Amino acid sequence: MLQAAEQQLAASSDHDISTRAVCEAVGVGQPVLYRLFDDKAGLLSALVDYGFERYVARKQAMEITDDPLKDLWAGWDDHIAFAQENPAIYRLMFSPTLARQPEAPRTIFKLLGDTLERCARIGALLVTPEAAAQRILSANIGVALALLVRPDIYTDPAMSDSVRDAVFAGCVSAPVVEHGGTGSGRTAIQLAAQLRDRPATSLGEEEQRLLLKWLDTLGQ
Say what percent of the chain tops pLDDT 90: 59
Tens of pLDDT, residue by residue over 71-116, are: 999 999 999 999 999 999 999 999 887 777 788 889 999 999 999 9
Q: What is the mean pLDDT of the chain?
A: 85
Over residues 9-15, mean pLDDT: 85
Counting other chains too, the contacts that 158-162 makes at CB distance below 8 Å and 24 or more residues apart are 160/76, 160/77, 160/80
Distance CA 202, CA 65 (A): 31
Q: Do the Cβ atoms of 75 and 123 come closer than 8 Å?
A: no
> Percent helix, strand, coil in the chain (nearest 5)?
70, 0, 30
- Choice between 38 and 15, residue whose per-residue pLDDT is larger: 38
Distance CA 213, CA 181 (A): 21
- Paired with 125 in beta bridges are 172
Counting other chains too, the contacts that 178-182 makes at CB distance below 8 Å and 24 or more residues apart are 181/123
- 10-14, 57-61, 216-220: segment of lowest average pLDDT: 216-220
Q: Do the Cβ atoms of 93 and 50 come closer than 8 Å?
A: no
Residue 188 clears pLDDT 90, i.e. is over it:
no
Q: 39-55 burial, b if ≥16 CB within 10 A, otherwise e?
A: ebeebbbbbbbbbbeeb
Distance CA 8, CA 17 (A): 6
Q: What is the pLDDT of residue 83?
A: 97
DSSP state of 155: -
Please give the full DSSP string across 87-105, using - where no structure is assigned. HHHHHHHT-TT-SS--SHH
Global pTM value: 0.77
Tens of pLDDT, residue by residue over 200-219, are: 656 667 766 766 565 666 55
Q: Calculate ∠ Cα 7-10-164, nearest 5°.
A: 125
